[in-house]
Amino acid sequence: MASSTSPTASPTPTVDPAVAQAKTAVLEAYSGFWDAQVRALAEPTAEPPAELARFSVDKAFAGVGQALFEYKRQGIVMTGTPVLDPKVDTIELGANANAHILDCVDSTAWVPVFRDTGKPAAAPGQAPRLEVEAWAIIYDGRWVIRETNVHRDTPC
């Protein structure tokens, strides 16, 4: 007689509720940062939205400020909205809480134009979909984006 064996069910991985909640908060901070950045770059001569300081610190905050300065100087505004697809790649909770986010930002409908002429201001040959990395930390009791890195040579 042949013995029959039933397939062994794979255990369902359990998700730590604290990690799931933290990932949600990280993605909310990332989306809030991008929303504030999009609004700021649409009107670089205006005061940046308060949400920029709410959702970013350090290099992320300074990077938007630098872009605003350059766009204002060159007479460039961003029109439209990018499409984001972020995922929390890694997350660490505790005293030194941090998270790493990977995204493929599609800027097909988010384009730089010269304010006075409406003509395109993008450098030729730029890929419209680029890989973006971001790092988040807890600052003043909330998740914020600390740094972003757009990989201009890595289309996705």
Q: What is the pLDDT of residue 123?
A: 86
142 neighbors 119 (Cβ within 8 angstroms):
no
Q: What is the pLDDT of residue 125?
A: 87
Question: Which DSSP string corresponds to the chain?
Answer: -PPP-PPPPPPPPP--HHHHHHHHHHHHHHHHHHHHHHHHHHSTTSPPPHHHHHHB-HHHHHHHHHHHHHHHHHTEEEEE--B---EEEEEE-STT-EEEEEEEEE-TTEEEEETTT--B-SPTT--SEEEEEEEEEEETTEEEEEEEEEEEEEE-
Q: What is the pLDDT of residue 126?
A: 87
Give me the CATH code for the 17-155 domain, please. Answer: 3.10.450
Q: What is the pLDDT of residue 9?
A: 59
Q: What is the pLDDT of residue 15?
A: 77
Mean pLDDT by 10 residues, the chain (156 residues): 53 81 98 98 96 98 97 97 98 97 97 96 91 98 97 92
